[in-house]
Amino acid sequence: MTTVSDETAKVQDALKQKYLHHFNRQPVFSAYAPGRVEVLGNHTDYNEGFVLSAAINMGTFFVCSPNDTTTCRLVAGDIMEETVFDIAKPEKVAEMTWSNYVRGVIDGLGIDATLPHGFDGMFLGNIPLGAGLSSSAALEMSSALCLSALYGLDTSDKLNLAKTGQRAEHLFAGVKCGLLDQMTSLFGAESRLVHTDFRSLQAVTVPISSDVCLLMCNTHAKHSLTESAYNERRAHCEAAAKAFAGLLPHPVTHLRDVSSVEFEKLRNQIDPAAARRAAHVVGENTRVEIGVELLKQNRVAEFGRLMFDSHESSRHNFENSCAELDFLVETAGGIDGVLGARLSGGGFGGSTVVLTQKDAAKTIGDVIRKAYQKKYDTVCDIQVLLPSAGARIITD
Ligand code: GLA
C-alpha cells in the first residue's frame, strides 16, 4: 500500500475543494503522478542509453468526471484558468499552453480508442515549475491515467502510457524529449532508483542506502526545454552517431552503439564538437552502468564521485550547464558530508541534485543556500527529494 506524504495529501485535498467549488460536484476519477529527478545518465535516453533516476515526493493530481456533451472543460487548478475544446479535436493551442500536455495526451489516447464524451477535469500539483523536475511529465502521466480510467482504457502497458506522454511533448509542446521523464514517473518505487535501458525499454529498480538522501537545489535560472537548445543537442548526437556509423564495422543507429573503447580510438576522426557531444553520452552510459554496481554494493561515496564526473562532462562536453549550476556543484563539492552533485535533467538552468549523508542534509542545504544568496543575491530553493512510488490511479 503506497501512501502520499502529508504535503502531497494537502494538494489532493485542495484540488477536491477547488473542483467542487468550480464544477459544483465531486470528481469521479482521480490519478496521481510524481515528478522525477535524474541522478545519473544525462541526455542518454534519446541516444538509447542508460539512466538512473527517481520518482520524487512531489507530483500532480488530475481529477475528472464525465459530462454528457462532447466538450472537455479543463482547468489548471493553481491559476484557475479554464480551456474548453471538443473531445474529437484536442488541438494544440498558442494560448493557455499549459493545456497542450493534456490535449496531446487525449490526442494520443484517441488513436486506438473511441472517446465518446467530454469531461470536466482539473489538475493541481506541487512540483516547482521550471526546476527540471518534470512537472510536464507528471501532468501527462496523471492525465493519461485519469482519462484512461474515465474511458475504461487498459493501463497495464506502462510503456504505452509513457509513449503517449512523449508523443504529446513532441507534437504538442515541440520538445523532442526521450522517454526518461514519463518512464520514471511511472516506474518509480519508494527508496529505490529506476535503472532504465532505453534500448530495450526495460526499467528495473535498485535500492539506495537509507543513510543518504538527495537535495534538489533550484537555481531559478532560465530553463525552457521548448527552446531550441535541447532539440539542437539531440540533433548533434544524431549527427555524431552517423559519423561513427561511417567508421565502425558494425551498425550504429544511436550513440548507444559506440563503446568507450571505440570512442577513444576514433574520436579524432570526427568533427571535434560532435566528438565532445558523443564523449558526454558515451561517458554517461558507462557511468550509469558502473553506478548501478556501486549502489548494489552500497559504495555510495564512489557513486557520488560519478555524479561530479557527470557534471564536469555536461559542463565541458555537452555544454548544457550554466554559471549558476556550476557554482552550486562547486560549492556542494567543498562541503563535508556531500558525496556528489550534478545538474539534473535537460540543463541550461534548472536544478542540481546533491547526494548527501542524511543526518547532515539540513546543515548542508543551509550552507548551499547561503552561498548562493551571497553570490547571486537571490534565493536558491532547496528541498529534500525522497525516491517515491510511481504514478497511479487513486481509488478511495
Ligand atoms: C529532459 C528530457 C528527458 C531527458 C533529459 C536529459 O528531462 O525530457 O527526456 O533527455 O532532459 O537527460
Q: Interhelix angle for 272-296 vs 228-245, to 10°?
A: 90
pTM of the model: 0.94
Cβ neighbours around 346 below 10 Å, total: 24
- Is 285 touching ligand 1 by the criterion CB < 6 Å? no
In short, whether 178's Cβ falls inside 6 Å of ligand 1 is: yes
Q: What is the number of structural domains in the chain?
A: 1
Helix (H, G, I), strand (E, B) or coil at 78: coil
Residue 45 alpha carbon, nearest atom of ligand 1: 10
More confident residue, 7 or 86: 86
pLDDT tens digits, one per residue of 103-112: 999 999 999 9
Distance of CA 27 from the midpoint of ligand 1 (Å)? 32
- Nearest-CA residue for ligand 1 atom 8 is 177
> Which of 43, 133, 225, 317 most suits a substitution to test ligand 1, by most atoms within 8 Å of the C-beta?
43
- Tell me the CA–centroid distance for residue 136 and ligand 1, in Å: 11
Ligand 1 contact, 180 CB (< 6 A): yes
104: CATH: 3.30.230.10
Mean pLDDT for all residues in the chain: 95
Q: Is residue 35 lining ligand 1, measured as CB closer than 6 Å?
A: no
In a domain, 42, yes or no: yes
User: What pLDDT score does 1 carry?
Assistant: 36
- In a domain, residue 96? The reply is yes
> Do the domain assignments include residue 228?
no
Specify the long-range contacts of residues 76-83, CB closer than 8 Å, at least 24 apart.
76/122, 76/123, 77/14, 77/15, 77/18, 77/19, 77/122, 77/123, 77/124, 78/124, 78/125, 80/18, 80/22, 82/22
The tens digit of pLDDT for each residue in 263-284 reads 999 999 999 999 999 999 999 9
Q: Considering only CA atoms, which residue is closest to atom 2 of ligand 1? A: 177
Residue 166, ligand 1, Cβ within 6 A: no
Nearest CA to ligand 1 atom 1: 346
What are 383's three cell numbers? 528541498
Q: What pLDDT is stored for residue 3 in this prediction? A: 46
Q: How far is the CA of 42 from the centre of ligand 1 (A)?
A: 7
Residue 108 domain flag: yes
Which tens digits make up the pLDDT trace of 282-307? 999 999 999 999 999 999 999 999 99
Res. 186: pLDDT tops 70: yes
Residue 279 is assigned to a structural domain of this protein: no
pLDDT value at 225 more than 60: no
Please check whether residue 126 lies inside any domain of the structure: yes
Instruction: Please identify every residue annotated as catalytic.
Output: 181
- Alpha carbon distances (Å) from 89 to 84, 115, 175: 11, 11, 21
Domain with 52 in it: 6-207+388-394
Which residue has better confidence, 227 or 135? 135
